[in-house]
Copies of this chain bind each other. A is one copy, B any other.
C-alpha cells in the first residue's frame, strides 16, 4: 500500500519475471519508508528426510573458513548451517546455562556448529563422519562431535540459541550486525579485535555468526569487573571503531536488521553521496510528502 492509498498488485508467485522494474525487491528492505507490505508469498520445500548436527573444534578463524570450503565442496547444498562460535561464547553460555553439557572434552579457540540435511534418508550421517574425519586428518579441525540422537542435536543447538540470552544475563553489550566478504572475515576479526582492545583494555568480544553468509554478530562487553554504565556511555566510540573497520573491509554495517533510526545517521559516513542521493530520489518519487515511516532509513 503506497502513501496515496493506492495498492500495488501482487505478490506474484512467479519465479521468473522480467517484465519491468523489480519494484518488489525495492519495497522489501525499505523498512516501511516506501509503502506497507500487506501480503507475502512463501515457497515451500520438501522437509529433509535426514539431518546430522556436528560440533567441530578449530584452532583459529582461518581454519573455520577453510572448513567451510572443505564442507561445501563435499556436501554442496546439503550444508544447511555453518555457525562460528568462539570459546568465549561457549563459556559464557555454559556459565548461565550450566545444565548444557560441554560437547567436547578439551577447549579450543573456536568452534563451528554445522548441520547437513538431505532429501535422501541415508548417507548424510556417513557424509558428516567422512568429511569431518578428513578435515581432522588434514589438520583443518582439531576434534568433532556428531550428535547421535535428536536430543543430542538439540543440546548442541541450545549452545548457539541461548547465546543472546546469556549475553543479556552477563550484562550490557554493544552489538553489531555486520557482514564481511567471506574470505576476509578472519582478517577483519583480527584487525577489529586489536583496535578495540587498544581503545578499551580488557574488552570482551562475543563473536558468533552465520559464516556461510559472511554475517557476524560482533558484540563488545565491558572488561571483567569494569563499569557497565561507563562502557555503554561510550557505545558511539565503539561503533565508530567497528563500523570504520567494516567499511575498510568493504562490508555492511547492517547485514540482517536494517537501518531503522539507530543507524540512520551512521550510514551517512559509509555510503557514497551518489548512493544516498539515489535513495533520496527514489524516496521522493514514491513518497513525495514523506508520510511513510518518517525518521527511519533516510
CB nearest to A286 among chain B residues: B281
Task: Please pick, from B14, B28, B214, B274, the residue contacting A179 in the complex, using a CB distance under 8 A.
Answer: B14
CB nearest to A288 among chain B residues: B281
Task: Please pick, from B8, B214, B271, the residue contacting A278 in the complex, using a CB distance under 8 A.
Answer: B8
Binds B, one of A99-107, A193-201, A256-264: A256-264
Complex CA gap A181/B22 in Å reads 18
Chain A, 253-294, CB within 8 A of any chain B CB:
253-259, 263, 267, 270-272, 274-275, 278-279, 281-282, 284-286
- Report yes or no: A28 in contact with B22, Cβ–Cβ below 8 A: yes
Q: Is the CB of A153 closer than 8 A to any CB of chain B?
A: no
Binds B, one of A73-81, A83-91, A222-230: A73-81
Tally of this chain's copies: 2
Task: Please pick, from B6, B13, B127, B263, the residue contacting A19 in the complex, using a CB distance under 8 A.
Answer: B263
Task: Please pick, from B23, B30, B272, the residue contacting A275 in the complex, using a CB distance under 8 A.
Answer: B23
Interface size bracket, A side: 35 or more
Q: Is the CB of A190 closer than 8 A to any CB of chain B?
A: no
- Report yes or no: B22 in contact with A252, Cβ–Cβ below 8 A: no
Complex CA gap A15/B15 in Å reads 20
CB nearest to A267 among chain B residues: B19
Complex CA gap A133/B30 in Å reads 48
- Report yes or no: B271 in contact with A15, Cβ–Cβ below 8 A: no
- Report yes or no: B17 in contact with A254, Cβ–Cβ below 8 A: yes
- Told that A20-B267, A21-B282, A21-B297 touch, could you supply 18 new A-B pairs with CB distance under 8 A? A2-B278, A9-B272, A15-B182, A16-B210, A16-B252, A16-B256, A18-B254, A19-B270, A21-B30, A23-B279, A23-B282, A45-B76, A46-B73, A74-B120, A76-B118, A76-B119, A282-B285, A282-B286
